[in-house]
């Protein structure tokens, strides 16, 4: 079985400041890693994913995450946040075989302040 | 991108009644659909996985007789909450995945309130 730990339940940050949302996972098999974003009263949207290859993955809106196998981490970063980035962010993991159901972390609320 | 819809978006029902939630993949064939439950300010918990034309696989602790899942076609899965009680009030989210792909596309969710 897999598990995901998001240590920070809330991260307040000022606009244009950098941010890092932490994610650690546990698994005995190879996995895929994902970050999803959920805006208020909306469903989840895929932000970025790691399947294989380059350990640094980027999204179209400036977020990036780096897969670190030795530390079993997949932290999400953005060098300069906007008010519109305020949302709930979920890290998730799935096996790379089989039904590939997602296991989610508990989520991190990013609150960007002016 | 792929679109998944859910209907209804909100539903309020009386205790003891049953509620059906639909999940549709609008522009792709979903061979696998997943149903999640999300409590306020908490993460998503996988309830069950359904493959088109076969019985759903339920996660440990989820009552299959209470949460009936049907995946009758490649574009439609339904979740029926039978004999609903106030503790069943939650945000129910479905996701769908096509054949030979890894990515799940999520619906907007259904907020169920049982009074």
Gap from B43 CA to chain A (nearest CA, Å): 5
Tokens representing A25? Answer: 């996972």
Q: Please list every residue in chain A whose beta carbon sits closer than 8 Å to the beta carbon of residue B34.
A: 101-102
Q: Please list every residue in chain B whose beta carbon sits closer than 8 Å to the beta carbon of residue A2.
A: none
pLDDT of residue A101: 85
pLDDT of residue A37: 94
Tokens representing B30? Answer: 């979903």
Q: Please list every residue in chain A whose beta carbon sits closer than 8 Å to the beta carbon of residue B93.
A: 43-44
Q: Please list every residue in chain A whose beta carbon sits closer than 8 Å to the beta carbon of residue B106.
A: 36, 43-45
Across the interface, of A44, A49, A105, the residue whose CB is closest to B106 is A44
Q: Are A55 and A67 in contact (CB under 8 A)?
A: yes
* Bridge partner list, A79: none
SS3 A107: coil
Polymer length in residues for chain B: 115
Q: Would you give the distance in Å from CA A14 to the centre of its chain? A: 20
Residues 77-96 of A with CB under 8 A from B: 90, 94, 96
Across the interface, of B34, B46, B108, the residue whose CB is closest to A43 is B108
Cβ-defined contact of B43 to A90 (cutoff 8 Å): yes
Tokens representing A78? Answer: 């953005």
Cβ-defined contact of B49 to A99 (cutoff 8 Å): yes
> What is the DSSP code (8-state) at residue B77?
E
Tokens representing A64? Answer: 């990036």
Residues 6+ apart with CB under 8 A from A83: A15, A112, A114
* Bridge partner list, A111: A12
Find, in chain A, the residue whose alpha carbon is nearest to that of B93.
A43
Gap from B32 CA to chain A (nearest CA, Å): 8
Q: Read off the pLDDT band of B94 (50, 70, 90).
A: very high
Tokens representing B42? Answer: 């908490």
Mean pLDDT by 10 residues, chain A (114 residues): 91 97 92 91 87 87 93 96 96 83 93 96
Q: In whole angstroms, what is the distance from residue B5 CA to residue B34 CA?
A: 13
Q: Please list every residue in chain A whose beta carbon sits closer than 8 Å to the beta carbon of residue B62.
A: none
Cβ-defined contact of A101 to B49 (cutoff 8 Å): yes
Q: Which pLDDT tens digit goes with each residue over B37-90?
A: 988 778 889 999 998 888 899 999 999 999 999 988 889 999 999 999 999 999
pLDDT of residue B81: 97
The three-state DSSP-derived secondary structure of A66-86 is: EEECCCCEEEEEECCCCHHHC
pLDDT of residue B58: 95
């Amino acid at each position: 079985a897999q598990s995901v730990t998001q240590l920070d339940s809330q991260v307040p940050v000022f606009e244009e400041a950098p941010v890092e949302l932490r994610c650690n996972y546990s698994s005995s098999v190879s996995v895929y890693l994902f970050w999803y974003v959920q805006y208020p009263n909306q469903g989840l949207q895929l932000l970025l994913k790691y399947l294989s290859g380059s350990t640094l993955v980027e999204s179209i809106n400036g977020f990036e995450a780096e897969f670190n196998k030795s530390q079993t981490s997949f932290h999400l970063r953005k060098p300069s946040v906007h008010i519109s980035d305020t949302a709930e962010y979920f890290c998730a993991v799935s096996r790379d075989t089989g039904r590939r159901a997602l296991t989610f972390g508990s989520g991190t609320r990013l609150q960007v302040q002016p | 991108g792929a679109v998944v819809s859910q209907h209804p978006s909100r539903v309020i029902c009386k205790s003891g009644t049953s509620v059906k939630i639909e999940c549709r993949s609008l522009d792709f064939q979903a061979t696998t659909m997943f149903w999640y439950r999300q409590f306020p300010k908490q993460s998503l918990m996988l309830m069950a996985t359904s493959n088109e034309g076969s019985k759903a696989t339920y996660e440990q602790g989820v009552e299959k007789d209470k949460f009936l899942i049907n995946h009758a076609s490649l574009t439609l899965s339904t979740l029926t909450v039978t004999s609903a009680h106030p503790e069943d009030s939650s945000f129910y989210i479905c996701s769908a995945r096509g054949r030979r792909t890894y990515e799940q596309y999520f619906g907007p969710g259904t907020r169920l309130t049982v009074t």
